[in-house]
Amino acid sequence: MNGKSGILGSVRKGVFIGASVLVFILINPLAIADMPKRTLRDDMTEVYHVLPEESSSLADALGKGKFYGRLRVNYFYWDHDENMLYDPIGFGFGGSLIYKTAPYSGFSLTAGLYTSQNLGLLDMDDALLGRTGKGTFSRYHAVKDGDWGMSVLGQAYIQYHVRETDMRVGWQTFEGFLARSNDTRMIPNTFEGVTLVSRDLPDTIFTGAFFTGQKLRDHAEFHDVITYNDGRNRIVTIGSRTVNLSNWNNQDDSASHRGLSFDNLKAAGKKVDNTLVIAGVTNQSIDHVKLDLWYTGVPDLFYSLMGEANVEIPLAGDWTVTPGLRYMRQFDDGAGVVGGAALSGKLVDGTGLPRGYNDPDCVDGDLFAARLVLKRGEGRLIGGYTRISDDADLIAPWRGFPTGGYTRSMGQYNWFANNDAWMIQAYYDFGKAGIIQGLRGGIDYTWMDYDDEKERLGGHSFTDRSYIHADIWYIFPFLEELEAKFRFGMINAAHKTNATEIAVSGEDPSYHEFRFEMNYLF
């Protein structure tokens, strides 16, 4: 998969995209008719409202094509309590330019160029110690080449549309259960492969995907969908720190399985060029009932099945209450023997110690989730609970989250074995309610109970914690294409007990996190 780096490397520098955006601004009006071309969801993914019209020839398809521009700024700051002497930041300035041809006989093309530049605001400590703000740059290229900017061809696909079915082939975003674009940085998480979304059956959406590669938000190249480390083991020393650059040049998502590494897979006779297979069905044939069934798997390693039901019940005074249930089962198909039951990969360190896991060589596991959603008008209140069985951690490094919509809050991972989590969340759209134009906000409180024994033995590094998180969105009334988003998180975590983890990052993992984002769509 790393052979693709030559293709994307040719567009790494920011000059190309920066010049393209500048030319487009100069030669095109920024506004069209009353309907905006795109708007943003709360998760900052894009909703297209204006698409190119049908064309009558190939030349017409190009002539009727449309550009979609986005200027973007992201800033991240972490204020640690006592465990680190350095509070890292993340920063990105840039955006995207997407071009869609008009459909011709059902076929169309889409290409998306993205750039993120740090304007000299980051240093090596931000690369080595940064948390989620690393999504604004490539740690691998920053440390290896001193290249702090990312400019990539993130999307390039052919689309075929017939009736209510769309098929895409190439590099693309995707929205499913465990795999999503998660577009909350500068560049979305994208995949290489084939997808099919069909709405031909009444009240039913069928989704299928076959992916041969993934490009994480902080990567400049596509890579394997599951393999951790690229097998080259490039060791570099920076000051007093020694890092393996190869750990950042393959599947290194925060939720990746470190035990499913290049060397471990090779030693077990497994592939290091894997595929990700997804199939999902959403049905709403019954009034007020939504049913979901999803399959996600990496052949010859593991797969999962998820079923979910949500039933909306009307109440008096325009209130509704919607109970929801989700069950997910992860099945081992060879991954456990290769990488162990823990995402940390520390169960395959040669010691044979189970490190708190009952069966250290199996990734079978279960997720149980329940919630109540109370809604009226532009507000909603959610109470959620999740329970992970005391078996194995759930494997989901594709930016979709097993506990999402139930107990997953900003930046938190609570799908480790023997984890219980509770969340209460409130949301209100003040603009739609006619109170404050353009303003909406949400706040949640989450309590996460991790397995103390696994933390003490080094199976994972997470301790029990409470988390308060708030989001505020604001669309400027004088310029509706401009939107700001502020996020705040305050985590109060129990002190660590594992001596190795304390030596690396201190005893107290508590911190405050601040994020600020601006978007301008044209």
Which tens digit of pLDDT belongs to each residue from 243-286? Answer: 999 999 999 999 999 999 999 999 999 999 999 999 999 999 99
Residue 274 CA to residue 211 CA, distance in Å, equals 9
The whole model's pTM is what? Answer: 0.91
Query: What's the pLDDT score for residue 134?
Result: 85
- 62 — phi, psi (to 5°)? -75, -40
**One-letter identity of residue 377:** G
Supply the pLDDT for residue 32.
38
Residue 197 contacts residue 205 (beta carbons within 8 Å): yes
From residue 427, alpha-carbon distances to 18, 83, 338, 371 in Å are 37, 33, 43, 15
The C-alpha atoms of residue 61 and residue 68 are separated, in whole angstroms, by 16
In the block, residue with structure tokens 């996190």: 513
**Dist. CA 223–CA 8, nearest whole Å:** 12
Cβ neighbour number for residue 98 with a 10 Å cutoff: 19
Within a 13 Å sphere around the CA of 517, how many CA atoms are in the beta-carbon half? 25
Spatial separation of the C-alpha atoms in residues 67 and 65, rounded to whole Å:
7
Low-confidence ranges of the chain (pLDDT < 70): 1-34, 82-85
Domain that holds residue 38: 2-521
Per-residue pLDDT, 239: 82
How far apart are the C-alpha atoms of 455 and 462, rounded to whole Å?
6
Pairing of strands 190-198, 241-244: unpaired
Q: What is the CATH number of the domain that holds 7?
A: 2.40.160.10
DSSP 397: -
Instruction: State the total domains in the chain.
Output: 1
Residue 280 CA to residue 294 CA, distance in Å, equals: 4
Q: Of the candidates 511, 515, 494, which has an alpha carbon nearest to the alpha carbon of residue 87?
A: 511
Candidates 445, 443, 394; CA nearest to 421 is 445
Residue 241: per-residue pLDDT: 87
Distance CA 344, CA 347 (A): 8
Q: What is the pLDDT of residue 207?
A: 98
Nearest CA to 383 out of 415, 425, 412 is that of: 425
Determine the 3-state secondary structure of 478 from DSSP: coil
pLDDT at 518: 98
d(CA 499, CA 234): 27
Measured distance CA(243)–CA(275) in Å, rounded: 28
Name the burial class of residue 285, with classes exposed (0-12), middle (13-18) and buried (19+) by CB atoms within 10 angstroms of its CB: exposed
Helices (H), 358-464: 452-457
Cα Dmax for the chain: 69
Q: Length of the chain in residues, anyone?
A: 522
Position 87 scores a pLDDT of 81
- Give residue 130's pLDDT: 81
